[in-house]
């Protein structure tokens, strides 16, 4: 029997915002999504623009409890807010991997390999 993975709570009003973010992804997010969707990373399912608590993470794997964030220029001015946001989400047992927008866009294979490496050591 497969172990049931608990659902992390989120605010219902974030669903519409997440949908909007999916339709307005950055180039780096688009490239990473192409590399991880359809269980391409060791068979794990990732979701994009996924609500957790009162936030939305760029990508999330429920099985691994792994959030992936693509940090673009907007994050340059929100370093403290990002740290606080990450801390709150980590209280739900979620781990984070962060990549720059530039790496996500130009070095997508390396990003995917880093995600795979993390998954292999944390499953």
**Domain regions of the chain by residue span:** 26-122
Per-residue pLDDT of 62-120, as tens digits, reads 999 999 999 987 655 678 898 999 999 999 999 999 999 999 999 999 999 999 999 99
Q: How confident is the model at residue 7 (pLDDT cuts 50, 70, 90)?
A: confident
Which pLDDT does position 72 carry in this prediction? 83
pLDDT tens per residue across span 18-40: 999 999 999 999 999 999 999 99
Buried b (16+ CB within 10 A) or exposed e, 37-72: eeeebeebebebbbbbbeebbbbbbbebbbbbbbbb
Give the global pTM: 0.91
Q: Report the candidate in 35, 60, 64 with the shortest Cα–Cα distance to residue 49.
A: 60
| Higher pLDDT among residues 66 and 3, named by residue | 66
CB 108 within 8 A of CB 35: yes
What CATH code is assigned to 26-122? Answer: 3.40.960.10
């Amino acid at each position: 029997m497969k172990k049931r993975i608990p659902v992390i709570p989120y605010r219902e009003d974030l669903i519409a915002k997440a949908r909007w973010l999916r339709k307005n992804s950055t180039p780096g997010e688009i490239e990473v999504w192409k590399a991880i969707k359809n269980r391409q990373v060791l068979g794990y399912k990732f979701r994009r623009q996924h609500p957790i608590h009162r936030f939305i993470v760029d990508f999330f794997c429920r099985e691994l409890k792994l959030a992936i964030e693509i940090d673009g220029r907007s994050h340059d001015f929100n370093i403290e807010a990002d740290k606080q946001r990450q801390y709150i989400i980590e209280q739900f047992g979620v781990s984070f991997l962060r990549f720059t927008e530039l790496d996500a866009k130009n070095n997508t294979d390396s990003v995917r390999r880093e995600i795979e490496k993390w998954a292999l050591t944390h499953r």
